[in-house]
Every structure is written in structure tokens, then in C-alpha cells.
Structure 1
Amino acid sequence: MLGQTLQEVSAALKQGQITPTELCQKCLSLNKKTKFLNAYSTVSEEVALKQAEELEKRYKKGHSLGDLDGVPIAVRDNFNTPGIEITCASNMLKGYVSPCYIVQKLLDQGAVLMGKTNLDEFAMGSGSTDGVFGPVKKTWSYSKQYREKTKHKAHGENEDSNWLITGGSSGGSVAAIAAFTSSAALGSDIGGSTRNPAAHYGVVGFKPSYGLGSHHVVLSMLAGHDPKDSTTIQDPVKPFTLPSLTDVNKLCIGIPKEYLTAELSSEVQSLWSKAANFFESEGAKIIEVSLPHPSYSIVCYHVLCTSEVASNMARFDGLEYGHRCDINVSTEAMYAATRREGFNDAVRGRIFSGNFFLLKENYKNYFIKAQKVRQLIANDFVNVFNSGVDVLLIPTTLSEAVPYLEFIKEDNRTRSAQDDIFTQTVNMAGLPAVSIPMALSNQGLPVGLQFIGYAFRDQQLLTIAKWFEK
């Protein structure tokens, strides 16, 4: 049962092949065995078992099971969940419990909450290495042949010099799925935080169109307006299933020439070409397209993202909730000490940068100009899709996952800029994108490829990705 698709798990529960409690217990047991992965910040064992038992009581009274009834899910620790603390992997929020909306939608559909998953502090990072709970580790290791060739040892819980990063910042959610401790997991994706670790872990990572859902996944259950989120679309959204695509003869797939960068590993480049050739051999039309402005995207993103961080983080002042220092000399001193103790260097660095860009004398030259560049990037995609292209095909990451000690040689800001090069422009344009496992590298590690679709054509995008995956 563990390791099956969400649809297969749901069908098995409906058919009585396994009960919600039995499945919950299996996931909890496996979670204990894989604790060294550090996938969870909080394991909600009592909550999960209680939810599963309540479902069984309803079922015995004649209630039929729905699509998510009894299905184990995990939720990244930057989503509010009922009765469970949200920490964002930060000292600033330890012990804070908040009301929720989007997770409640899943729980109302019968999903069983296995726990909150680990991440980079406040989702700021690309390795899941910079949170207060420590780094998330990876179930994958180098292939036996590669280890023998390079004298690498298989990574394990006591071999910090050899284990691999998960990617980030949703590494805990991806690790929870890959370790079979949940059937689905929520992440968030501001610059690639869901797709990046999905590629490194060999699972599917999906970022929906901006505004389609309240920044979440498990799309058919979560899509639609959230009254507490003004960025979500107002129009009703009909739940959709993915039709079976029998052939790709009518598809036009674009290959953006600007993404053939010098930093791209030769192996990932080869697999990218192999995927394009496969589509072409099956009858799809493959064309080279141009996206003129992606080289400006990372800088533009840095300005906009840090500006929003600085603005939003102003609420963490130690007064109403979250961490508060013991200094009582003055209000200003309390603010400063609270934020210094509560935030790590990566978060503070982004706050400082954002405040600089938002200064009155800098606002037009940085924030406003970055918004104009963002529109140019979005227009690039619109022009390509209006030319008849159905989806774009690009790599998800520059290479397969790297060892932890190699990864942490660079600072958080530099690592994020490097690792988000293929994912981040999608966020600037508000488009849907999905990372699909492509193959194993020569080192025996997963490589993911990314499909990008037009805004709100999520169903078409996922249908094509499903065909490719099969």
C-alpha cells in the first residue's frame, strides 16, 4: 500500500482492502524508521489516529468514503493547521498556533494529517538546510558503481560528509512522500521551492497557476476562491480529472534557447534533448522559442521578493504573538533584540535588502523598475504561447543533487540564485509548472524535467505531463 499513487490509495480504502487506521499506523511506523531524514518538524500522531478512527466510525454507520477520506497527507510547516503549532522552521514562531483555512478544506474532505514538514526558515532557501530543526536529508544515495569509483560511501544518518541535499525549500514535504509516510504533501513555491526538491527526490512537484488556489496543491480539492486570500480568483472553479492522452500528434512543444546555459550539466542537457526527441518521435512538433528576458529574472525576483519579505515580516515584533525577548529597556530595543533572536541570518538579510529597496529614495529605481521587468518576463511567455505553443519543456535544476558539505560552501542568497535559475521565471509570470522525474543520472540520482503551461491551463499541462511520465 505504501508507495502507491494517491488514487490507488483512495481506491484501496474505498474497497476495504485497508482501513484508515491501519494505513495511518503504517505511515507512522515508517516515519519512526526514517526519522533520520528529518522530514517532519511535528508528527501529529494523536491527531492522525483520532481522525482515522472517526472516519471508520462514520463508515461503519453507512457513510461512504470520499476521494480523500483516510488518505494520509503532510503539510509544510508554513501552513496554518488546526490545533498544531506553525513555526516556519523559525525561533520566531515556536509555540504559535493559528486558525487555518486551506488545510481545513483537506481535513473536511477526510484527509488524515500526519504532521508538519521541515523546511528552510520562512521558506527562504533552496536546500532545506537553514531551518531551526536542522537540514532535511535524502533517501537517495550515489549508485554503488559510482561510490566504488569515487570512494563515496552510501549516505546515512551518521555520515554528514556524504549525504545529499533534498533541495528546497519544501524538502520536508518531498521527503515525507518519498519515504512513503504520506500519500501527498503541501509545499509552497515562490521561486521553485516545490519543483526543485521534487526533481532531486524523483517525485512529481506541481506549482499551479497563480491565483487558482490559495498557493497550494492537491488541486481538485483546493482550487477556487479563498475569502482570506485576495490573490485567489473570484470565478468558480470546477474540479477536474486528467483525461487519458492517447497521442501527442497535435502538440507543439517549445524549447527556450535561453535556458541552454553554461552552468547546465552536460548530463541534464543530454536528458533534456532526449525528452524533446522522444516527443518528436511520437509525433509532437518541437520548435525553438525565445524568452528574451530570463537573464534579468533572478535580480528582479530578489528585489520584489525581499521587498515583500520586509513588508510582511514587520508584523513579527514580539508584541501580539511569537517570540519575545527579555529586554525591557525600551520598545525599540525590544523590537531589535526580538527580531535578532527570532530570525536567522538568511531571513534578516532579506529583510535588510527589502527595506533598502523600499526606501523613499530607492523605491522607483528598484521596486517599481523590478515590477516593470516582471511584466516584460510575463509578456515573453504570453507571446510564446500565443504563437501556438502548448507547453514549454526545460530542465528543473542545473544538475542532480549535490552533497551537503559541497552545498553549504555558498551562502543562502548565492545558492538560491543558482538553484532557481530554471524555476523562478515561472513564478514571475504566474504560470503553472510541474517537475516530472525523467531518469537516473550516471551517479544513480534522480533528474527532473519541467513542463510549463499557459495561465489557468493547468489541466492541459498536467495531462501532457501525465502522458510523458507514463
Structure 2
Amino acid sequence: MRRHVQLSIKQLTAGYINGQLSPLTVAEQALEDAAKLKTLNAFVCVTPEQALQQANESVQRYTKKQPIGDLDGVTIAIKDNFCTTNVPTTCASRMLKDFVPPYDSTMSARLRQAGAVLVGKTNMDQFAMGAGTVDSIYGPTKNIWSEDLSQDNWRIAGGSSGGSASAVAAGLCYAAIGSDTGGSTRNPASYCGVVGLKPTYGLCSRHGLIPLVNSMDVPGIFARSVGDCVDVLNAVAGPDSMDSTSIQQPFNKLQLPEVDQIDLRSVRIGIPKEYHCDGLSVEVLETWTKVADLLESAGARVRQVSLPHTAASIFVYSILNQCEVASNMARYDGIEYGHRAADERSTEQLYAQSRAEGFNQVVKTRILTGNFLLLRKNYDHYFEKALRVRRLIAEDFSRVFEAQEDFEKVDLLLTPTTLSDAPLYKDFITQSNRDQCAVQDFCTQPANMAGIPAISIPVRLSKAGLPLSLQIMSNSLNEQLLLTVARWIEAQVGFDSLKSLQRPAERL
């Protein structure tokens, strides 16, 4: 294992400052390791020329004692649905296979401004429609925690941001950017044993993020520790005039207290009874109980709460997702950009054939279903009703976070992230895409409905030696408390994500 991989981002940059480490050496080793672990299929595009150039620039800045940000020289990967100047952005689809954006997404631009070194674009489910990173034109991404990476005896990385999670878990970068529409950051973070943060909707700009569901898409962050997650969030969060959904109030950088200074006696933790659902594994339930007991022992007030519309959330999400997909995918017509079919005699034939060739079956199904749901005769019955239930789901969260009576109010919610450890690929693909998402996103999706922040943190290993994680949710713009408590839990459970580098037998 590379010695520097064991360091946090702050420790890494401190090593740059004192000359013990070099951004160029770290970048070179990251590229070398990405090639060695190509079998994981975490990347759809590695960017060696850009990475080495940015690393060299970082070396020069450190030589002059003038780093430009907290991420200067830190290796980062970006999900392949964020636009990156002169680097392909394909959404893992044939439709955008040759698309090279002439501009950066705000997330990419702010990472550059903080001095980060881009090592590559990561694999994903096509147009972020999935929960396993198995529906990419580049093939599925594998989980480094797998017992065996050969044939079909490997574990999924989760989705749709599985490539980003896999890259961080494998030590190929210190952090990675994903997107989270229904759990697409927290789900793979859980399966890959890393930290996955979904900030408050609008806290991080969506400009340059190729949309799935505009009203729920949130840029997410993967890292191996809560502290590293905070460092990345501080670099990318804040208002953006290019994004009308961006929160316009200034973002004050977060400063987490040291673990021994965290006092939980005033913190109120809610345990939503509806998250004790069908399919929840015994090991996840035991993990949930263990951490709740740890919090209570430390003085936190832990009590059961109710979010009564939780069970309806996945159905509402399915309707709204497909309706927005139908709208967003309409731009891909084979004329302005994207894949264009050859030798079609009419405009209508060109549209039809370009989309037939450019989209996979999952995308086509969602487009057709969304258009059906938006028909005039169906609009009120499906779309309008789904919006009403979405409001009820959001009100469930408001009720527990903003209750007038102190004994009814909670500050945080503690739940499972996923219902089990990472499934085997051969078992996962026996389900339809819709069924996969309904199961895998049950605990994560409601947070997107309400636009609240949520984080997945690894807690322990299952009997199969795979990560088990829990989720913490809080009220909008309450990232400070959310991440503080997450850091405390992280310190108590002592999960070592670097153990992933010891599995399977052949490692770096």
C-alpha cells in the first residue's frame, strides 16, 4: 500500500508544505495504481496529461510556499455526468460517447480553483439511472471489497455513482464527486465502505451537471473520512449565478471540533420506525441498534419518531423521476449534439433512430413511461398527486425537525443506508432496474424529496467481510451538526476503509 494513501487530506497537504511528499509523485502513483486496478472499471476516462500538468503546477506553488487552496495537489475523480473542459463527458452512454464539453461544471471549476488534481472521470449507470453501476456502455464497476473479482463472483459498487465510490475505496484518489438524486452517492458509499455526503439541495451548484431530475439532483462527495469530506465541501459549496436553484446566501466554511471536544448531551436523535422495513438484514439492524446505543451512552437523547409517508416515497420518486427524465431527454434529438443516426430520410426518422441507438433500454423505458404519465388524461392522476405526496413527505421531516414541543423535536435522524451489504453482481442483475432502485434506495430516497442533507458513514464489516453503513439526516443547511456527529460516530466505531486494499488477494 502506498504510504501516503493512509493520510487524510490535511496530512497530505501538510506533507507537501514540509517537502516530505510531492504532488507530482502522488499523481504519478495514482495513475499507475489506476492502471493496475483497471479490472475494477472505476474510470471511463483517465486523464494523465491533465493530472501531471496540474500536479506540476501544484509543485511550483508549494515550492513558492503559495498553495491556492486546501485541495492543492490532492487527487480527485469526477463522475462522468459533470462537464469538464476538453475531457469527454459521456454519462456512460452511446448518446454522448463523443461529447467533449468546451466548459467546466461549477463543481469541476471550483475543484481546479482549489488546486485539485483530476485523475479521471468515473463510471456510472447510463444517465445516472440505476442503483448498481451495471448499466454503463463501458461495463459494470466492481467493488474492491469483493472476495473474487473474476467472472461474476464479485460485488457491485452500488449506483449510480459507483465508479467514484470504487475509486476512493481503492485508494486511487483522495476524494471523488458524484451526483445524488435518490441515493446515488450514499448507496455506493455504503457498499464500498467510504463516506458519502449529499448536501442540502442548492448548497452545491448543479451548473454543468447533466440533469436526471432537476428538482432532486445534488452533487455529492465521496471521501475516506468525514474530515476529508468537509475539506472538499468547503472548496465547492456556495452560491452560483449560473444555477438558478443555487442557495444564494453566502456559505461559511465548516470547522469541525476535535473528537474529544464534541458534546452530545444536547443532541436529540430520532429513530424513524418506518425505516425498520421488509428486507432489512439482521446485521444492518444490529449495526443500527449498536450505534443508537453508543449515542445514548454518550448523553444524546435518542427516541423513536414517525415519518408516516416513507413507504410512499419510492412510488412518488418513480413517477416524478420518469416525468422529469422524459423532459430532460427530449434535448437529445440527433441534430444539435450527441449521437446522430446515419442515412435517415426524414427528421422524424432521424429523431427516432438516433434515440433508439443512443439510449439503452432503461433510459428508453423511463422516457416512454414519463411521457405517458404526462399525457393530459394522466397528468392530474399521476404527476399532480405525486407532487402532493412529495409535499407530505417533506412535511414529515419538517414535523420532527421543527416541532414546537421540545420533547417532540429532534436534531438528527439515524437510519440504515442500504438494507444489506453489497450484493453479488450475478444476484443483482436478476432484478429489473425499477426493482433494484426500489429496494436499494428505500432509505436514501426520501431525503432527496425533502432536499435535506444526509451522510452515509461505514460502521463495521458484515460476516461476509463487507462494509455495513448507517445514514444520518438533518434539517436543511444543518451540515455543521450533521458532520460533527458523523465525525464522532466515525471515531467511536473505528472503521478502517483501507482494509479494502487487502481484498481480493492480489492488491497494490
User: TM (normalized to structure 1)?
Assistant: 0.95
One-letter amino acid of the counterpart of residue 208, structure 1: P
Gaps of 5+ in 2: 206-217, 222-231, 404-408, 492-508
- Does 1:200 find its partner at 2:204? no
Go from structure 1 to structure 2 and tell me whether the alpha carbon gap of 1:125 and 1:3 turns closer, same or farther (over 3 Å shift): farther
Question: In 2, are the aligned partners of 1:395 and 1:449 still within 8 Å (CA)?
Answer: yes
- Does 1:174 find its partner at 2:165? yes
Could you tell me which of 426, 440, 444 is aligned with 1:423? 444
State the 1:174 CA deviation. Answer: 0.6
Deviation digits for residues 190-224 of structure 1 (CA, Å, limit 9, x no counterpart)? 00000001011110000000011113242111111
Could you tell me which of 416, 437, 440 is aligned with 1:395? 416
- Does 1:437 find its partner at 2:458? yes
One-letter amino acid of the counterpart of residue 174, structure 2: S
Deviation digits for residues 135-159 of structure 1 (CA, Å, limit 9, x no counterpart)? 0001113xxxxxxxxxxxx312xx2
The 3-state SS of whatever aligns with 2:160 is coil
- Match for residue 363 of structure 2? 347
- Match for residue 71 of structure 2? 68
The 3-state SS of whatever aligns with 1:409 is coil
Question: In 1, are the aligned partners of 2:92 and 2:125 still within 8 Å (CA)?
Answer: yes
- Match for residue 377 of structure 1? 393
Deviation digits for residues 146-183 of structure 1 (CA, Å, limit 9, x no counterpart)? xxxxxxxx312xx2221111111110001111111110
- Does 1:242 find its partner at 2:263? no
One-letter amino acid of the counterpart of residue 232, structure 1: S
One-letter amino acid of the counterpart of residue 186, structure 1: I
State the 1:66 CA deviation. Answer: 2.9
Structure 1 distance, partners of 2:177, 2:381, is: 36
**Once the two structures are aligned, what percentage of the paired residues are identical?**
50
Structure 2 distance, partners of 1:121, 1:423, is: 20
State the 1:55 CA deviation. Answer: 2.0
Question: In 1, are the aligned partners of 2:82 and 2:105 still within 8 Å (CA)?
Answer: no
One-letter amino acid of the counterpart of residue 104, structure 2: C
Go from structure 1 to structure 2 and tell me whether the alpha carbon gap of 1:275 and 1:60 turns closer, same or farther (over 3 Å shift): closer
Go from structure 1 to structure 2 and tell me whether the alpha carbon gap of 1:365 and 1:29 turns closer, same or farther (over 3 Å shift): same
One-letter amino acid of the counterpart of residue 92, structure 1: M
Question: In 2, are the aligned partners of 1:253 and 1:287 still within 8 Å (CA)?
Answer: yes
Structure 2 distance, partners of 1:460, 1:307, is: 35
Structure 1 distance, partners of 2:340, 2:297, is: 61
Structure 1 distance, partners of 2:152, 2:91, is: 26
Structure 2 distance, partners of 1:120, 1:396, is: 19
- Match for residue 467 of structure 2? 446
- Does 1:362 find its partner at 2:362? no
**Pairwise mapping of residues 118-137 of structure 1 onto structure 2 (< 5 A)?**
118-137=123-142
One-letter amino acid of the counterpart of residue 100, structure 1: D
State the 1:309 CA deviation. Answer: 0.7
State the 1:360 CA deviation. Answer: 1.4
The 3-state SS of whatever aligns with 1:394 is strand
Go from structure 1 to structure 2 and tell me whether the alpha carbon gap of 1:236 and 1:406 turns closer, same or farther (over 3 Å shift): same
State the 1:65 CA deviation. Answer: 5.2
State the 1:342 CA deviation. Answer: 0.3
Deviation digits for residues 356-410 of structure 1 (CA, Å, limit 9, x no counterpart)? 1111111111111111110000000000012320100000001001110000001
Structure 1 distance, partners of 2:336, 2:273, is: 50
Could you tell me which of 6, 9, 15 is aligned with 1:6? 9
Question: In 2, are the aligned partners of 1:160 and 1:404 still within 8 Å (CA)?
Answer: no
The 3-state SS of whatever aligns with 1:186 is strand
Could you tell me which of 192, 200, 218 is aligned with 1:209? 200
State the 1:238 CA deviation. Answer: 1.6
Question: In 1, are the aligned partners of 2:417 and 2:471 still within 8 Å (CA)?
Answer: yes
Structure 2 distance, partners of 1:445, 1:46, is: 35
Question: In 2, are the aligned partners of 1:79 and 1:86 still within 8 Å (CA)?
Answer: yes
Structure 2 distance, partners of 1:77, 1:120, is: 10
- Match for residue 112 of structure 1? 117
Could you tell me which of 244, 250, 255 is aligned with 1:230? 244
**Pairwise mapping of residues 222-301 of structure 1 onto structure 2 (< 5 A)?**
222-244=236-258, 245-301=261-317
Structure 2 distance, partners of 1:77, 1:3, is: 26
Could you tell me which of 105, 111, 127 is aligned with 1:101? 105
Question: In 2, are the aligned partners of 1:59 and 1:65 still within 8 Å (CA)?
Answer: no
Structure 1 distance, partners of 2:486, 2:61, is: 37
State the 1:61 CA deviation. Answer: 4.2
One-letter amino acid of the counterpart of residue 41, structure 1: V
The 3-state SS of whatever aligns with 1:75 is strand
When structure 1 is superposed on structure 2, of 125-134 and 278-287 the one drifting more is 278-287
State the 1:30 CA deviation. Answer: 1.0
Question: In 2, are the aligned partners of 1:325 and 1:338 still within 8 Å (CA)?
Answer: yes
Structure 2 distance, partners of 1:362, 1:302, is: 15
Structure 1 distance, partners of 2:334, 2:448, is: 31
Structure 1 distance, partners of 2:412, 2:478, is: 10
Aligned-residue CA RMSD (Å):
1.2
Structure 2 distance, partners of 1:63, 1:3, is: 25
Question: In 2, are the aligned partners of 1:3 and 1:183 still within 8 Å (CA)?
Answer: no
The 3-state SS of whatever aligns with 2:168 is helix
- Match for residue 209 of structure 2? none
The 3-state SS of whatever aligns with 1:450 is strand
- Does 1:465 find its partner at 2:486? yes
Question: In 2, are the aligned partners of 1:327 and 1:333 still within 8 Å (CA)?
Answer: no
Structure 1 distance, partners of 2:176, 2:343, is: 39
Deviation digits for residues 427-447 of structure 1 (CA, Å, limit 9, x no counterpart)? 000010000001101111100
- Does 1:35 find its partner at 2:35? no
Deviation digits for residues 61-116 of structure 1 (CA, Å, limit 9, x no counterpart)? 45345311101000000000111010000000011111123201110111000000
- Does 1:163 find its partner at 2:154? yes
- Match for residue 144 of structure 1? none
Segments ≥4 residues shifted beyond 4 Å: none
- Does 1:49 find its partner at 2:52? yes
Question: In 1, are the aligned partners of 2:58 and 2:67 still within 8 Å (CA)?
Answer: no
Structure 1 distance, partners of 2:95, 2:160, is: 18
State the 1:6 CA deviation. Answer: 2.0
When structure 1 is superposed on structure 2, of 291-300 and 241-250 the one drifting more is 241-250
**Pairwise mapping of residues 296-307 of structure 1 onto structure 2 (< 5 A)?**
296-307=312-323
The 3-state SS of whatever aligns with 1:197 is helix
- Does 1:59 find its partner at 2:62? yes
Go from structure 1 to structure 2 and tell me whether the alpha carbon gap of 1:317 and 1:3 turns closer, same or farther (over 3 Å shift): farther
State the 1:243 CA deviation. Answer: 2.1
